Amino acid sequence: MKGGEVMSDEMSCQTMVELVTAYLEDDLPASERDRFERHLTVCPGCVEYLAQMRVTARLSGQRLREDTLDPEYRHELLSVFRSWRNDPRG
């Protein structure tokens, strides 16, 4: 492979950062994914950037979101059901 060919095909870091999500979603066409991955083999900055986007997505999921339904409210919802059953057109 000649150096010139590699250069002409090379993806820039600035392009990489805009394609990261499409890459992580596996939405890139095969040829573009190949270029993306080839760039990663030569650019530690973009390797780190990709890792940061992965970590960002993962950490967002660790925000506490364990909320349970208030029993009284749950009871209200059951009343909605019962009145609908008794009179479906309400």
Partner 1 sequence: MSDPKAGFGSEEDLLAALRAGDERAFVELVDVHAAGMRRFALRFVREPAVADDVVQDAWLAMLRGLDRFEGRSSLATWLFQIVSNIAKTKAVREARTVPVSAFESEPAGDEPAVAADRFFGPDGTHPGGWLTFPLAWSERPEVKLEAAETRAVISAAIDVLPPAQRLVISLRDVEGWPATEVCNVLEISETNQRVLLHRARSKVRGALERYFEDERR
Nearest approach in angstroms of CB 15 to partner 1 is: 6
Please identify, using beta-carbon distances, which residue of 34 and 45 lies nearer to partner 1.
Answer: 45
Provide the binding-site residues for partner 1, judged by CB under 8 A. 12-15, 17-18, 20-22, 25, 27, 43-46, 48-49, 51-57, 59-63, 65, 67-69, 73-74, 76-78, 80-82, 84-85, 88-90
Amino acid identity of 76? E
Quick check: 63 and 57 in contact, CB under 8 A?
A: no
Amino acid identity of 78? L
Please identify, using beta-carbon distances, which residue of 36 and 46 lies nearer to partner 1.
Answer: 46
From the list 13, 18, 20, the residue with the least C-alpha distance to 57 is 20
